[in-house]
Amino acid sequence: MAPELDLGPVDYFLVGFPPGAPLDGGALMQMAALVQQGIIQVLDALVIRKEDDGTISGVDLAEAGDSAELIAFSGVRTGLIHDEDVQLAAEEMPAGSVAAFVLYENTWARGFVTAVHERGGVFLGSGRIGMDDLLAAIEAAGD
Residue 87 burial (CB < 10 Å; 0-12/13-18/19+)?
A: exposed
**30-88 tens-digit pLDDT:** 988 999 999 999 999 888 999 999 999 887 665 555 555 555 566 677 889 998 999 99
DSSP H or E run through 44: strand 41-50
**1-29 tens-digit pLDDT:** 444 568 899 999 999 999 888 887 788 88
Q: What is the pTM of this model?
A: 0.79
Secondary structure of residue 96 in the 3-state scheme: coil
CB count, 10 Å around CB of 32? 20
The torsion region of residue 102 among left (phi > 0), alpha (psi -120 to 50) and beta comes to beta
